[in-house]
Structures are given as structure tokens and as C-alpha cells.
Chain A
Amino acid sequence: MDVLTLSRLQFAVTSMFHFIFVPLTLGLSVLVALMETRYVMSGDELYKRMAKFWGKLFLINFALGIVTGITLEFQFGMNWAEYSRYVGDIFGAPLAIEATVAFFLESVFIGVWAFGWNKVSRRVHLLSIWIVAMATNLSGLWILLANGWMQHPVGYVLRNGRAEMVDFMALLTNPFGLLKFGHQIVSGYTVAGFFVMGVSAWHLLRARNRVFFKTSFGMAAAFALGASIMVAVIGDFHAADVAKTQPAKFAAMEAVWESCTNAPLHLIAYPDEKNQCNLVTGLPIPGLLSFLAFHDSSATIKGLNSFPKEDRPPVLPVFLSFRLMVGLGSYFILVAAAALFLSRSGMLEKYPLFLRLLVYSIPLPYIANQLGWIVSEVGRQPWIVYGIMRTSDAVSKSISVSQVVGSLVGFTLLYGLLGFVDIYLLAKFARKGPEEITLAAAGANSK
């Protein structure tokens, strides 16, 4: 393998690993903030215990998300020096601003929140978790504006042998970045909603701390339903924007080979990249694809064959990831709606099978998040910046195969070990009841 392939593999490994932890952070910060708000408003200790219990899990998850984020920033220079040199003038700004306006807030106030229960007033403590939640989401906004620029570059000119920023406002209002941000944030909320429902369901199946976990479940179910509906709504706008800005990616997402007007959506399809057609297609819904993409059932969809071969993304992974993501997204809405209904009507514990389903559903929103990023990033290929820079031109010239093999192996082993430990600890503390966590910590303290 060459430096390019290895560097791409390394970026995939490190960013996908990072993204195991980020979505939960995005959503759980808000959920914990909501719990603590109820505590401060009502004075009910139940909500304080909820904020502490779910907050503990939040912190275990947060630790690995934070430390693995730095890797991504460094890699732009280490492995993608030509990229950084060519687009740093415009791409660097959102990254630097993210650190200055969001990451600082998040990292400083997480300390106040985690260590400040007895040091600051209730209101300041509540404010600190809201600052963390807001800053985490704001951080996502800047990162996705940066990524949005790679997907749909705006506000630049090619000058002095590089892309130079000429319109900062265009970068800030790039619809691609904003839609992706909206889609991603609520995807993170969905992860958190299903996480809290799943863990609560596990305890309810064992009839432990029933009030505590039924209340947690109820909050999470409402949160998950609202979020999963928004995922679909914003996702629909996002996909329509992709159809306009990245027609090759859109064609790959839907496995459309030949351009056509009044394009149908095939419920069944399987692309054959070699022969540039679909192996099977079936159950067409006439005009639906044109309608979804352009809100006009007679609109033209550009097929993959109308792009030169070297400008097409890999079709199969993009197509399959997109299909699976959409399927999972629909599943989340149905399950969250059922969960909210059962929780509101007090019948939750009468359906142990449904509770078990929720326990097993914990990983699914995580998978959907990863699939979404595969659609987004693999679908952007062969471009690193859509239409202006190819990934193959972006890799560092001064690094060797042995260096990247070494770093890839190192990252894989280190991340594997730390991820294993982190998930072990998450599972351990999730299984403990809220009282046990406090008692265990007290025991450790007295030693």
C-alpha cells in the first residue's frame, strides 16, 4: 500500500473511532442539562440523582472523545500537508475559531460541572452544564462548517497557488454546512435518547430503581422521538441539497446510472460497479426520486454514467450505507414513538420484550451515525475538496510508507485498547444503580 491509501485508512480509523464518542456527548450533555434543570426548578432530589448518574456515564464517554479529537487536527498537517497548504487559508479559520470560542468553554466548564457540586451555587452549577451542552453543539457547528466547505466550497478564490478566503460570511452561511450540522446534532440526540432508554430498560427488566429509571426513560423517549423525527426532516433537506451540489454523490446514494427525468425510487436495487449498471432493480415508485431531490417529479436526475469514471465515488459502500441509514432512521422514529406512548400510558413494564428490544437497540444509532459519515466522506471521493482538489493530491510528500504503517498500527492498537476499557467502564457504571455509584465512590474515597 502507498502513503495515500495508508493515510486515508488512518484518517478513517481515527475519525470513526473519535465518532464513537462524539454523538453521545452531543446529546447526553443536553439531556443531563435538562435533568439538572428540573432539579433546580423543582428541588426534587430524584432529578439531582439522575443528573449525577447519567453525568457519570457522560464523563466516562467524554474523556475519550476529547483526547481523540486532537488527533484529527494534527493529522491535517501530518498526513495531509498538501491539503493544509492549499486550503489552510480558508479551512484553518473555522478550526481555530472552534477551539477559541467553543472548545475552551466546553473543557473549562466540564471541570466546573464535574468537580463543582459543592463549590458553586446550584444555579451556577446548572449554568455550567448548559454551557458545556451549548459549547459542545457550537463546537460541532464550526467543525461541520469546515467539513461543509470541503463538501461544497464557497467564499474563496484560487490565487497564489492556493484557495484563499474572500468571503467569511459565505463560509458561515454555507447551506451544506448548516444542513449537515442540523442533521448531525439531532443524530447525536437520537444516540443519547436511545442510550438512556436502553440502559433504563435494562434496569427496569430487573425491576431496580423503578421510579428513577422510569422517569429517565420518559425523558429520553420524548427526546429521542423529537430528535429522530428532526433527523429525517433535516436529512431530507440535506439530501436535496446534495442532489444540487454533489450530483455524483447523490447518484451513488441512489445507484442511478443513467440520467433520466421523472426518476423513480427503486425500493430494491443493487449496484454493479464493474458493468456500470444495477444487478437488480425492483419496486419502482415513479417520479419519487426526482421529487425528493428537486421537489418536482419531472426533474432530471444525473446518472453516474454522465460523469467521467475518474470523477465518480465508489458506488456500493455509499449506496448501501445510505439505504441502511435511512432504514435505521425510520426504525428509530417508530420505536421512539412506541416508547413514548408506553411510557406515558404507564404500560412500559408490561412489555418486557419491548424493553429488551431497547437494550439491544443501543448500538443502532451509533451505527447509523457512522453510516452517515461513510455516505458523506466516501461519497465525496475522489475529491478532498469537492471539485477543486483531489484526495490523491492532498497527501504529505515528506512522509514514508513505514512511518504511516507505524502510526496506523499504533493508533489501531492504542485506540483498540482504550476503546475496550472505556466501553467496559461505561457498561460497568451503567449496570450499577444510582445509589451504588455513590456508595462505590465513597468506598474508594475512604481507602
Chain B
Amino acid sequence: MDLHIVWFVLWGVLWGVYFMLDGFVLGAGMLHRVLGETDEDRRVIINSFGPVWDGNEVWLVTAGGATLAAFPTAYALMFSYLYTPLLLLLFGLIVRGVSFEFRGKEDGALWRGCWDWAIVGSSLVPALLFGVAFGNIFAGLPMDQAGYHGSLIYLLNPYGIVCGVLFVLLFLQHGALYLVVKTTGELSRSAEGAARVIWILLLLVAVGFLVSSYFSTKLYDNYLAAPIVALVPLLAVAALLSIRVFLAKGAHLAAFAASCATILGVVFTGVIGLFPNLIPSSLDPAFSLSIYNSSSSAYTLRIMTVVAFIFVPIVIGYKIWVYRIFRGRVSGASLAGDHEAY
């Protein structure tokens, strides 16, 4: 088996699972002030993902670590080329994490209001930047033998912005559906109303993404070469459409599951289109970073494969167990006797 390909797939899976899991935390965070009208609502929103958000974020750390271990050259160049957006992303994730912890530790309205808005901002910024970054990776970065010729402004090109908005809407949808399933009463109903509105916007932007990808990227080349893989984007579209059907039927959990599938589908659509590149060069394909010219040695890939194949299933196993422990809806009443909640 070609371990380069194994690690390419794992790389895609790590990012896909990260977006699927942190996506609803980012989405719920962005909706925190919109849907949470009272302090109790806002506590319910934070506590709906309170026990799991930290474990979800580790998928990002693992995706980063795996990129360094398996594709060090791609890691080095991607992170140094995208210096400023990654910095803003880090600030966002740092502020978000402490905001959850700090918010409930004082009673004042000003204190809580500040952390509330911090949560909204620190959820929006990473969501947008992930989209912009991946959009630019799909399209290729301007790099050649002299290095990188881009800048933060360059990254905010129309295609990058389409992808940024796509990610924001995907996560908003995901977060809204999560809150539909995890909360009760008025909050759950208003989350459902938000999900319906977001769905229409998401559909429009998704069409825009598929069309503009044709003009701005080479993602479709792989699909034309091997049409069978076009099943992935087709499934992503089907999942997106089915969200609306499930919502109409009142099958909320199915709608959330369809949203999970949509996010995985979008990520894999892009990743399959990139193959065998991790980061294409938009200037000259000779300078693209592929899984072959930027990978670790065969020995390192073997070691890392053994580790991944033993431990990733274990991680998935105990994560499922933990989600089962914390299944069920969170409400003001369920938090009332709980001194340990956020």
C-alpha cells in the first residue's frame, strides 16, 4: 500500500472530522447572542457543548501535528505563507476557549456581555478564516522557486471570500441544527427558524462555490479523469438538500446528521480535487507541494501509520461513549442544580 496515499486520506479525514465536530461549536458560538436572548438561554447554549468542545478542538491539533509529521515541507510552507491568517485564527481559538470558562465566573452584566460578544467574534473569525484558507489552497497559492508572492489582501480574492462565506454558513447551519437537537422550548424553536433561513443562503452560496470552483480552481480535473469519485460531491449536495426535507418532517436528529454529512462531503470534495497535491502552486505546477515531494521518509510514515491505526479508532470509541453520556437536551432547569456547569 502506498503510505503517501494513506496519509493523504488521513489528512483529509482529520480536517473533515475537525470541521464536523468543531463546526457546530463555532456555529453555535456565532449564534450565541442572536438566539440567546436571556442570560439563561446563553448559559444553555454554552453548556450544550460544554463537555465536548475541548475534545473537538483536539482534532485540529492532531491535524496540525499529523501534517508536520507526515508532510513536513507542506506544513512548514503552508504555516509560514499563511502567517497572518493563522495568527488571527489562533487569537480566535484562544479567546473562544477562555470565554467559555470565564463567562460564568462573575455575575455582572458588563462582564458577561463582554465574554458573550467575545464568543461571537472568536467563533466567526476562525470560521471565516478556515474557509478563506482552504479556498486559497483549493485554488493554489502563488508560489515558485523564489517563495511566496501572496499577502493577506491577496487571500481575500473573490474565490477565497466565497469559500469563507461557505464555511461560515455551513457552520451556522450546523450550529443551529445542533441547538435544535440539544436545547428545549423557545430556544430550540428559534434555532430551527434560524436553520431554515440559513439553509436557503447556504444553498445559494454552495451553488456559487461549485460554479466558481470550475473557473478558479483545477478541482474538477480529477473528477473528469475518474468520474466515479464524483459520487462524493453528489452525496454532499444530496445531504445538503436532505437537511431541508428532514426539517420539514420534524426529523431534527436526521437533519443534524445530514449537516454532518454535508460538511464531510464539502471537505472531501475539495481534498479529492487536490490529489495528489496538498497545496498546488497557482503559478507553476512544478512548484506544487504534493504528497510525494513534501512527505516524510517511508520509515516515519510507517511508524505514524501504526500509531494512527491503533489510536484513532480508540479515540473515536471513547468519544462516542462520552457523547452518549452527555446525550439529551440541556435546559435552564437541567442547569439549575448543577454547580459545575459553565
Report whether B61 and A92 are in contact in the complex, using a CB–CB cutoff of 8 Å.
Answer: no
| B-contact bits for A270-283, CB 8 A (1 contact / 0 none) | 00000000000000
The yes or no answer to A260 lying at the interface (CB within 8 A) is no
Query: B340: which A residues are within 8 A, CB to CB?
Result: 52, 114-115, 117, 441
Query: B335: which A residues are within 8 A, CB to CB?
Result: 445
Query: B79: which A residues are within 8 A, CB to CB?
Result: 74, 76-78, 81, 84
Query: A104: which B residues are within 8 A, CB to CB?
Result: 55, 58, 62, 315, 319
Query: A431: which B residues are within 8 A, CB to CB?
Result: none
- State which of A85, A89, A111 has its C-beta within 8 Å of the C-beta of B50: A111
| B-contact bits for A400-437, CB 8 A (1 contact / 0 none) | 00010011001000100010011001001100000001
Report whether A398 and B148 are in contact in the complex, using a CB–CB cutoff of 8 Å.
Answer: yes
Closest to B87 in A: A407
Closest beta carbon of chain B to A29's beta carbon, Å: 14
Q: Which of A56-64, A213-221, A235-243, A312-320 contacts B (4 or more CB under 8 A)?
A: A56-64
Closest to B69 in A: A92
The yes or no answer to B104 lying at the interface (CB within 8 A) is yes
| A-contact bits for B94-118, CB 8 A (1 contact / 0 none) | 1101101110110100000000000
The yes or no answer to A70 lying at the interface (CB within 8 A) is yes
The yes or no answer to B198 lying at the interface (CB within 8 A) is no
Report whether B68 and A95 are in contact in the complex, using a CB–CB cutoff of 8 Å.
Answer: yes
Report whether A73 and B65 are in contact in the complex, using a CB–CB cutoff of 8 Å.
Answer: yes
Report whether A63 and B97 are in contact in the complex, using a CB–CB cutoff of 8 Å.
Answer: yes
Closest beta carbon of chain A to B68's beta carbon, Å: 4
Closest to A60 in B: B101
Q: How many residues of A contact B (CB 8 A)?
A: 83
- State which of A77, A112, A160, A166 has its C-beta within 8 Å of the C-beta of B322: A112
Most buried by A among B69, B81, B91, B303: B69
Closest beta carbon of chain B to A389's beta carbon, Å: 13
Known: A71-B90, A91-B68. 11 other contacts (CB 8 A): A69-B61, A85-B73, A87-B72, A88-B75, A93-B300, A95-B68, A103-B58, A105-B318, A108-B52, A421-B98, A425-B105
> A-contacting residues of B (Cβ < 8 Å)?
39-40, 47, 50-52, 54-55, 57-58, 60-62, 64-66, 68-70, 72-73, 75-81, 83-84, 86-87, 90-91, 93-95, 97-98, 100-102, 104-105, 107, 147-148, 296-297, 299-300, 303-304, 307-308, 311-312, 315, 318-319, 322, 325-326, 335-341
> B-contacting residues of A (Cβ < 8 Å)?
52, 59-60, 63-64, 66-71, 73-74, 76-79, 81-85, 87-93, 95-101, 103-105, 107-112, 114-120, 159-160, 162, 164-166, 168, 396-399, 403, 406-407, 410, 414, 418, 421-422, 425, 428-429, 437-438, 441-447
